[in-house]
C-alpha cells in the first residue's frame, strides 16, 4: 500500500504539472478558491476575468465605444495587460500598461460593462491567445468563463462553479463594502443576472459547463471546503495519469 494518502500524491507525482480550469458564474468564489489552490500546489494563478476587466477599463478611460470595432482592435494592439506579484499580499495583481489597476477593475462600473466587452470576438480572441501562452508550460490554475471549453479544453482538472444568485449578490456586496463602495443588493442581483445572460448566450465562447467538468455548488460551502474539493480532484487526476502512463502536454 502506498504511504501517501489520496489527498497527498507522492513527491514524484506532485512534480508533474497540469492545468486546472475553474469556470462558472460571478461571485461563486472562483478567484478565491483558485488562488488558494494555486498557492497550495505552488502553481501560477491566472485570473482571466481580470484581463477582460482590464480591457473594459482601458476602453472606458479612452472613450472608445464598444461597438467601434476598428478602435477596439487598435486598442487591443496598443494596450499591455500583465500580472505582477504583490510581495506584501502574495497576490497577482493586474497591470494595465505597466500600472497596477487591481482596485479600479473591481469597481461596479466595470462590472456593469465587462460582459458587453467580453462578447466582442476580437477581444476574446486576443485574451484567449494570451491566456494560452501563459499556460503553455502547464502548472497553472485559471479561472474564468471558458477555460475548460475554449482556452484549455485539454485541462486535466475542470471544475464548474455555481451558487444561488442571492448568495452570490451578498458575497459581492461584502467585497465592494470592504473597498468602501456601497451598492444595494438589488442592484447587484440585477447586474449578476444580466451578466449571466450575456455570458451564457454570447456567440463567442459562451459560458457553459464542459462535458467533463465537475459541478461545484458553493451556495452552502466555506472557502476551505471549496479548496479541499478542488485539491481532491487534482490528487485523483495525478494518480489517474500515473496509472495510465503520464502524457503531460510538455511531452506530447
For residues 180-194, one letter each, b for 16 or more C-beta atoms within 10 angstroms of the residue's C-beta and e for the rest, the string is eeebeeeebbebbee
Annotated binding-site ranges for ATP: 24-32
Annotated binding-site ranges: 24-32
Helix (H) or strand (E) holding 19: strand 19-24
Matching residue, cell 455555481? 162
The three-state secondary structure class of 85 is strand
* Under 8 Å between Cβ of 173 and 26: no
Strands 157-162 and 19-24: what pairing? parallel
Which DSSP state fits 212?
T
Cell numbers standing for residue 149: 471549453
* Under 8 Å between Cβ of 20 and 157: yes
Amino acid at each position: 500500500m502506498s504511504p501517501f494518502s489520496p489527498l497527498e500524491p507522492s513527491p514524484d507525482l506532485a512534480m508533474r504539472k497540469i492545468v486546472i480550469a475553474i469556470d462558472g458564474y460571478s461571485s461563486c468564489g472562483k478567484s478565491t478558491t483558485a488562488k488558494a489552490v494555486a498557492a497550495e500546489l505552488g502553481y501560477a494563478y491566472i485570473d482571466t476575468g481580470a484581463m477582460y476587466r482590464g480591457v473594459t477599463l482601458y476602453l472606458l478611460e479612452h472613450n472608445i465605444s464598444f461597438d467601434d470595432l476598428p478602435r477596439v482592435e487598435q486598442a487591443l494592439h496598443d494596450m499591455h495587460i500583465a500580472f505582477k506579484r504583490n510581495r506584501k499580499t502574495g497576490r497577482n495583481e493586474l497591470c494595465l500598461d505597466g500600472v497596477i489597476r487591481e482596485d479600479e477593475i473591481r469597481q461596479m462600473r466595470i462590472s456593469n460593462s465587462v460582459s458587453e466587452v467580453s462578447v466582442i470576438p476580437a477581444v476574446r480572441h486576443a485574451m484567449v491567445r494570451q491566456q494560452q501562452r501563459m499556460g503553455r508550460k502547464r502548472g497553472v490554475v485559471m479561472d474564468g468563463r471558458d477555460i475548460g471549453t475554449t482556452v484549455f479544453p485539454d485541462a486535466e482538472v475542470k471544475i464548474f462553479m455555481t451558487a444561488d444568485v442571492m448568495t452570490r449578490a451578498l458575497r459581492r456586496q461584502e467585497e465592494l463594502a470592504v473597498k468602501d463602495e456601497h451598492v444595494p443588493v438589488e442592484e447587484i442581483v440585477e447586474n449578476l443576472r444580466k451578466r449571466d445572460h450575456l455570458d451564457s448566450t454570447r456567440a463567442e465562447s459562451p459560458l457553459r459547463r464542459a462535458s467533463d467538468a465537475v459541478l461545484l455548488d458553493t451556495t452552502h460551502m466555506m472557502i476551505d471546503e471549496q479548496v479541499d474539493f478542488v485539491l481532491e480532484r487534482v490528487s485523483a487526476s495525478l494518480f489517474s495519469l500515473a496509472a495510465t502512463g503520464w502524457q503531460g502536454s510538455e511531452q506530447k
